[in-house]
Amino acid sequence: MRRYFLHLKKIGGYILYDEEGYEFRDLEAARAEALEAARELLASAIKAGWDLDTQAIIIADAEGRELDEVPLMTVLPKNFPPRPI
C-alpha cells in the first residue's frame, strides 16, 4: 500500500489540497477513486444547479509529486454533448 493524495484543481489554478491522503495499492487504484470522485462531483453539481469550479483531480504522492490528472470532462457520458445532426 502507498499513500496518495487527491487534490482538487480549481478554475484559475487554485488548488484545494487533500490533507489526509488515501492508502491505495497502486496508481491504478488511486486513478479509479479519482474517476469515481469526479463522477460524484460533477453529478452533484449538475443535480444542484451549482457552478462547478473544480476542473480536475490531481493525483499526487506523499512527496508532493503530481502523478496524474483526471479532468472532470472525461467522466461525461459517451456521446455527450450530442453532436449536431
Partner 1 sequence: MEQSSRPSTPTQNRLLCNLSQADRNLLQPHLEPIVLNRGDVCVAVDTPITHVYFLEGGLGSTVAHDEGHGTGEIGMQGYEGLIGVPVLLGADRSPHKIFMQVGGPAQRIRVEPLREAMAQSASLCRLLLLYAQVFLVQTGQTAHVNVNYTILQRLARWILMSADRLGPHITLTHEYLSYMLGVRRAGVTEALHMLEGERLIKSTRGTIDVLDRPGLERMADRGYGIPEAEYERLIGPWR
Chain residues that interact with partner 1, rule: CB under 8 A = 6, 8, 16, 18-20, 22, 33-34, 36-38, 40-41, 44, 47-48, 54, 57
Under DSSP, the state recorded for 73 is: G
Q: Residue 69 CB, nearest distance to partner 1 (Å)?
A: 14
Q: Quick one: 14 or 26, whose CB is closer to partner 1?
A: 14
Q: How far is the CB of 36 from partner 1 (least distance, A)?
A: 6
Our CB check for partner 1 shows the closer of 37 and 60 to be: 37
- Residue 5 vs 84, nearer CB to partner 1: 5
- What's the grid cell of residue 15? 488548488
Structural contact between residues 3 and 26, judged by C-beta atoms closer than 8 angstroms = no
Mark out the alpha helices in 1-85 (DSSP H runs).
27-48
SS3 letters across 22-33 = EEECCHHHHHHH
Query: What is the closest distance, in whole angstroms, from the C-beta atom of residue 82 to partner 1 in the complex?
Result: 27
Q: What are the φ/ψ torsions at residue 26 (nearest 5 degrees)? A: -160, 180
